Amino acid sequence: MRTRVVITGLGAVTPLGSSPEALWEGLLAGRSGVGPITLFDTSAMKTHFAAEVKDFDGPALLGAKEVRRMDRYTQFSVAAARQAVQDAGLHISDANRDRVAVVIGSAIGGMSTLYKEMQVLFERGPSRVSPFLVPMMLPDSGAASVAIDLGARGPNYSPVTACATGTDSVGQAADLIRMGRADVVIGGAGESVVVPIALAGLNVMTALSTRNDEPQRASRPFDRTRDGFVMGEGSAVLVLESLEHAQGRGAHILAEVLGYGSTNDAYHISAPAENGAGAAISMQVALRDAGLGTGDIQYINAHGTSTPLNDKSETAAIKTVFGERAYTIPISSTKSMTGHLLGASGALEALICVKALGDQQIPPTINYEFPDPVCDLDYTPNTARSLPLEHVMSNSFGFGGHNATLVLGRWTGNGAAAGAG
């Protein structure tokens, strides 16, 4: 019998607040976390806004000395991991630390550090570059720093699958437990690339919205007038445990990880397959892994980036998987409020799905005003919705054709996720 994996703790640093509670309150209220960029001068840029993390005091939370050795994305990851472990009531000690793993991904790593130190190199010379540049810029620094901070000595990985990274991190964390290689995994992702080079690069790709006159209305997934995504930053971390371990220590169980799917389009370095074929297979694999059918899903947290191609292809993929039932399943894109956290987005949206299962509420897709004939499903427009939820799905898709899907189940407190065998 397969080892069952449950979620016992949540942590989040987001544009809507630096806790899961603040994030969830903002989502249900339909509040946008998008605003003018404050981290640098955007006057030469086509896009002047992003979903920044606000009021985050790294030195106060983590210590001034430690922060000097951490990129901003790593600070977010460590802060979110601390929250998640505290929320889980998990004590890591010599007795268990070798069975506690960390899987914290990042699509890009410490780009803000790299950009800053490149400027130092050009302006002040090579001898003035920080000796911490290399460890700070690596995509595995978040995972390594979380392990150091918490004293977790089990397996340690940092998946890199573009914007599917966070979902793959949670899925691979569950797989580690199922394989018997860990009892507990601190799983999630962090990202912080609101820097000039990233903004410029995405602008020349025409990937970003340029709705500078109304930034809070710029992220509008599935809306006919969508013109690109809004860059976000932050981190989300979940504590995953085997059911036996969680029950053995009397943990409060929040949800169960039922299924995980991961595929690749094998199509294009940045564009999704137009018919969503790879995404559809990812959803089908996750459903099979969960032992569920298409009739068992009551909500889908969509990747929903607000780009013309992504939203169209994801809609097509959902129709491929669910057939006529696709028209009756509530779907929402919380990126309409948080922006697109790139590699951290999937972990954040997995956390949101846990909150949805717990509260039996679906967050909305805000800024949805003009229906698109090719995006004709129920996107939960503009207002949160209460609905009985037993099983939910979360999708993430990334450059390079990466697709990842999670299926989560409500925990009933009687030893089984609702509806699961």
Catalytic positions: 163, 303, 340
Rounded CA separation 11/56 (Å)? 14
Tell me how far apart the terminal alpha carbons of the chain are, to the nearest angstrom.
11
CA torsion angle 260 192 220 218 (round to 10):
180
Label the pairing between strands 5-13 and 255-264. Answer: antiparallel
Positive or negative, the CA dihedral 75, 80, 81, 87 is: positive
In SS3 terms, 48-73 reads as: CEEECCCCCCHHHHHCHHHHCCCCHH
Cα 366 to Cα 161: distance, rounded to the nearest angstrom: 27
DSSP, res 34: -
How many angstroms separate the CA atoms of 398 and 159, rounded?
13
CB 368 within 8 A of CB 221: yes
Residues in Cβ contact with 204 at an 8 Å cutoff, skipping those fewer than 6 apart = none
DSSP lists the bridge partners of residue 410 as 255
d(C-alpha 297, C-alpha 283), whole Å: 11
* CA atoms of 78 and 146, how far apart (whole Å): 5
Cα distance between residue 101 and residue 292, in whole Å: 28
Gyration radius (Cα) of the chain, Å: 20
HSE-CB at 256 with a 13 A cutoff on CA atoms is: 27
Minimal CA–CA distance to 135: which of 172, 110, 158, 117? 110
